[in-house]
Amino acid sequence: MSVCTVEFVIEPFVENAPGPHVMAGIEAMETRGLHVTMGPFGSIVSGTASEVSGAIGAMVSAAVEDGAHRVLVEVVIDGP
């Protein structure tokens, strides 16, 4: 089974702390049982294609509803 690594960036950036739009996106991923690793400019989550595909849509919707102006997503598929 292939593992998908998803890196996502939710903008606009807020100095010194993630904004509510960022936290809404992260919570949407975590609600689906995925562990999010937050970095200084983006966040990373890994899972199967079926796990991450639905979570990506939920993350984008939650972030936009909370004020995101841009959501960048990159998916890397590891394995056969």
- Condensed to tens digits (0 to 9), the pLDDT of residues 62-76 reads 999 999 999 999 999
What is the pTM for the complete model shown?
0.90
**Any idea of the CA torsion for 57, 60, 64, 67, to the nearest 10 degrees?**
150
33 to each of 30, 65, 67, 70, 73, how far by Cα in Å?
5, 21, 24, 24, 19
Q: Greatest CA span in the chain, whole angstroms?
A: 40
pLDDT level of residue 80 (50, 70, 90 thresholds): low
What is the per-residue pLDDT for 1? 73
- Condensed to tens digits (0 to 9), the pLDDT of residues 4-57 reads 999 999 999 878 888 999 999 999 999 999 999 998 889 999 999 999 999 999
